[in-house]
């Protein structure tokens, strides 16, 4: 009497509705196709054509200065394909070559080469004039040759990257022996400090990612792209990290190093880009400021390791993982890449930092649990650590603000 009539249906009918339902997908597809056909054939939107010129948008993504003059990568973002008719440099028309030639379709790019004798260390202004007479300006604030890949430049950039990325992490990790004797409260303090500095980096990285995204062509929808990439990076790393439960010890330290490494990669990109754009006046003071600013990163990486005795080699690995990407970032960044790539790199870093914040906080609360409840997490040691982490990062950041 409890019998459900549906159970009486033969098993074969279970599969059949599936394919039948799929067939129904043809209906919306057919309606969409018909609508497009009608729109194209009869042009019912003609009434909106008020004689206004098409919307035009051009984004200059890369600018390369070399002995042949200027080369720039432009991306079209207009409502119709765009034609670059003439090119001015400093209010003078110059011959130029476009590759590929012709109109640039929406979202597509072309290289514009101008045989312009630019002046070292001075500013220039490039104006692209389209066939409708609209103009798009791009400033070269300080003209310097775009670095090319050579062993000399790679080496000097690597030294800079080592000072900015690897050295501070290594210095921080060298605190490890001294911190090993830390008591429970010091441990809590250090982990909370790690969370604090990571929180600073998360905000910093996110803002920078959004700024770079703002410079990118509109088709990339920069802000949404940053949020999506950061979320994807966060979720992916969370999923990987928690395959075997919450990461602790060396695994957690590795994730922290990875997050910081991705951040340093983005930082390296921006430093490299600054060289390309002519901000060569990177003084010793600035570089040391960066080093000091990043020292806490090493302490943060060391914090989860205090209760174990990892092999020495793993410290080398952690330092390279966290600091090495700064070197790679400077190399890549100096080649004048489009802003959306820097934004994506920074967004991945933001997601990775968010992941380690979650994991270190989880470790912190587990430690607190041992002493009963969340009281420890909200205790003076944890609060002090958080404040110290954020505060130290903020104050040392002042050293590198111009």
Q: How far is the CB of 334 from other proteins (least distance, A)?
A: 8
Decide: is 273 part of the binding site for other proteins (CB under 8 A). Answer: yes
Separation between Cα atoms, residue 383 and residue 153, nearest integer Å: 45
Q: For other proteins, which residue of 28, 44, 47, 152 counts as binding (CB under 8 A)?
A: 152
Taking a C-beta distance cutoff of 8 angstroms, is the pair 168, 297 a contact?
yes
Contact letters for other proteins, residues 114-133 (x by CB under 8 A): xxxx--xx-x---x-xxxxx
Under the binding rule (CB under 8 A), the answer on residue 113 touching other proteins is yes
Q: How many residues in the shown chain lie near other proteins by CB under 8 A?
A: 75
Close Cβ partners of 125 (under 8 Å, ≥ 6 residues apart): 89, 90, 91, 137, 138, 139, 140
- Give the angle 33-38-44 at the CA atoms, nearest 5°: 140
Question: Of 226, 343, 221, nearest to 273 (Cα)?
Answer: 343
198 touching other proteins, by CB under 8 A = no
Which of 30, 33, 37, 97 touches other proteins by CB under 8 A? 97
Omega of the bond leading into 3 within 30 degrees of 0 (cis): no
Interaction pattern, residues 158-197, with other proteins; x per rule: CB under 8 A: -xx--x----------------------------------
Binding of residue 334 to other proteins (CB under 8 A) = yes
Least separation in angstroms between CB 49 and other proteins: 16
**Under rule CB under 8 A, which residues in 372-401 are in contact with other proteins?**
397, 400-401
Helix (H, G, I), strand (E, B) or coil at 187: helix
Q: Which is nearer to other proteins, 170 or 273 (CB)?
A: 273
Q: x-or-dash pattern for other proteins, window 337-376, by CB under 8 A?
A: ----------------------------------------
Task: Give, to the nearest 10 degrees, the angle between helix 222-241 and helix 184-215.
Answer: 150
Under rule CB under 8 A, residue 293 binds other proteins: yes
**Torsion angle in degrees (nearest 10) through CA of 59, 62, 65, 70:** -40
Closest CA to 130 of 104, 149, 148, 106: 104
| Residues 4-63, interacting with other proteins (CB under 8 A) | none
Please give the Cα distance from 56 to 83 (Å, whole number).
10
Indicate the residue among 252 and 273 with the shorter CB distance to other proteins. 273
């Amino acid at each position: 009497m409890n019998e459900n009539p549906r159970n009486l249906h033969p098993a074969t009918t279970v599969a059949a509705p599936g394919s039948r339902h799929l067939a129904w997908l043809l209906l919306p597809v057919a309606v969409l196709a018909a609508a497009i056909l009608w729109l194209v054939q009869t042009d019912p939107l003609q009434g909106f054509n008020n004689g206004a010129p098409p919307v035009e948008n051009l984004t200059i993504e890369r600018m390369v200065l070399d002995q042949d003059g200027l080369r720039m990568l432009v991306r079209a973002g207009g409502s119709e394909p765009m034609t670059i008719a003439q090119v001015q440099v400093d209010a003078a028309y110059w011959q130029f070559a476009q590759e590929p030639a012709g109109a640039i379709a929406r979202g597509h790019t072309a290289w514009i080469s101008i045989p312009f004798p630019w002046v070292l260390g001075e500013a220039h202004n490039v104006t692209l004039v389209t066939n409708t007479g609209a103009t798009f300006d791009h400033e070269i604030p300080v003209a310097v040759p775009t670095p090319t890949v050579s062993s000399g430049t790679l080496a000097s950039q690597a030294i800079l990257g080592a000072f900015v990325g690897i050295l501070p992490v290594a210095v921080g990790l060298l605190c490890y022996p001294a911190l090993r004797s830390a008591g429970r409260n010091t441990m809590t303090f250090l982990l909370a400090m790690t969370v604090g500095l990571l929180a600073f980096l998360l905000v910093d990285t996110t803002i920078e990612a959004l700024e770079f995204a703002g410079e990118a062509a509109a088709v990339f929808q920069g802000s949404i792209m940053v949020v999506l990439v950061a979320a994807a990076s966060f979720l992916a790393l969370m999923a990987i990290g928690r395959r075997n439960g919450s990461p602790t010890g060396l695994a957690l330290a590795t994730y922290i190093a990875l997050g910081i490494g991705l951040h340093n990669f983005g930082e390296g990109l921006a430093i490299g880009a600054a060289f390309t754009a002519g901000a060569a006046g990177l003084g010793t003071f600035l570089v040391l400021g960066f080093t000091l600013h990043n020292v806490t990163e090493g302490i943060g990486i060391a914090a989860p390791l205090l209760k174990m005795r990892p092999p020495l080699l793993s410290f080398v690995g952690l330092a390279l993982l966290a600091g090495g990407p700064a070197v790679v970032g400077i190399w890549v960044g100096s080649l004048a890449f489009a802003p959306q790539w820097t934004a994506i790199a920074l967004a991945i870093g933001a997601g990775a930092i968010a992941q380690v914040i979650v994991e270190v906080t989880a470790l912190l609360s587990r430690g607190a649990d041992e002493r009963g409840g969340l009281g420890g997490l909200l205790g003076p040691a944890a609060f002090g650590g958080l404040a110290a982490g954020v505060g130290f990062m903020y104050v040392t950041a002042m050293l590198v603000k111009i």
